[in-house]
Structure 1
Amino acid sequence: MITPDYVRRMAAYNAWQNRQMDRAMAGLSLEALEADRAAFWGSILGTANHLLWGDQIWMARFGVGAAPDVKLADSPRMHPTHATWSAERFRMDGRITLWAEKLRAVDLTGRMRWYSGAMEQEVSRPVGALVVHFFNHQTHHRGQIHAMLTAAGAQAPQSDLFAMPETG
């Protein structure tokens, strides 16, 4: 379904997008970042926190690092400031990049089984499809953040994959 090269490309895209998003968020006050913007996770910072939470939970499922110590419902409040979120986002993007660099084709085969708190049941899915979901989840929530940043008057990031600087 997917290759290690695809995963590496998506990991680079993820890090590039998050660096841009971080810069845009840095230009806003904490009040603007926390303002309820009628998004599913409420605010810019709440959605950014949820996205980080999702990355942590999936990386733990993929065997890289620990799962977050907060529940899904509490994910928007995981990091109370832009600075604390930014530091953890930087670390997570490094973890994702290192994972992607070490990935082999065989690592993307087979099935993964886990208990889904969101679905409240045991789930089994193809690993490749879950990795695609992992990156799709990031893109989905960054799209929401992009819209909220624009509404807040910030310069929203360039999000087109083809516009990403070449990495090699």
Structure 2
Amino acid sequence: MITPGYCQTMARYNAWQNTGLRRIVSDIKPEAFDRDRGAFFGSIGGTLNHLLWGDLIWMSRIAGHAPPPCGLADSATLTEGPAAWAEARFRADGRISLWADEVTSLALVGEIVWTPSGGGARTLPLAMGIMHMFNHQTHHRGQVHAMLTAAGITPPTTDLPFMPEAG
């Protein structure tokens, strides 16, 4: 269903996109970062925190990494402020990239079992969980892109074909 190359490309895309967001939020005042903009997770910061939380929870399921220190209900408050988010995001992207660089075809086969916050164990093909993690990233970064644009900030391109070549 997916290959190690897919995982590596998507991890590289994720890191590229988050590097651009880290640059942008380094200049955002905390009140602008935390301002409720009517998005599902409220603010730019809340959405970025939820996205980080999602990556941490999925990597705990996929690769056995440590889960985030809070549950879904508190995911929008995972870190406090742009600097703390940027630091945690950088570390998470590094762990995702290392995992992708080392993953084998055999390691992409199997199932994952977890209990969502609503209860009841769920089983999912591992490859589907990985695809969901990468799709979840793109979905919420799109929301952040819209909030930044509405705030008068022009984010860099998000188009996969324009990702810089690995150097």
1:116/1:122 contact within 8 Å kept: yes
Query: What's the offset of the Cα at 1:13?
Result: 0.1
Percent same amino acid at aligned positions? 50
**What is the rounded CA distance, in whole Å, between the counterparts of 1:41 and 1:81 in structure 2?**
15
**What is the rounded CA distance, in whole Å, between the counterparts of 2:137 and 2:166 in structure 1?**
20
TM-score by length of 1: 0.96
Query: What's the offset of the Cα at 1:65?
Result: 2.0
Query: What's the offset of the Cα at 1:16?
Result: 0.1
1:24/1:157 contact within 8 Å kept: no
What letter corresponds to residue 159 of structure 2 in structure 1? D
Matched residue, 2:164: 165
Structure 2 gaps, min length 5: none
TM-score by length of 2: 0.97
Matched residue, 1:76: 76
* 3-state SS, counterpart of residue 121 of structure 2: strand
Q: CA offsets, 1:63-113, max 9 Å, x none?
A: 342101111111111111100110010000000000000100011111111
**What is the rounded CA distance, in whole Å, between the counterparts of 1:24 and 1:87 in structure 2?**
14
Matched residue, 1:106: 106
Matched residue, 1:16: 16
2:47/2:144 contact within 8 Å kept: yes
**What is the rounded CA distance, in whole Å, between the counterparts of 2:29 and 2:89 in structure 1?**
18
The runs of 4+ residues in structure 1 deviating greater than 6 Å are: none
Q: How does 1:30-109 map to 2 (within 5 A)?
A: 30-109=30-109
**What is the rounded CA distance, in whole Å, between the counterparts of 2:28 and 2:152 in structure 1?**
9
Number of matched residues? 167
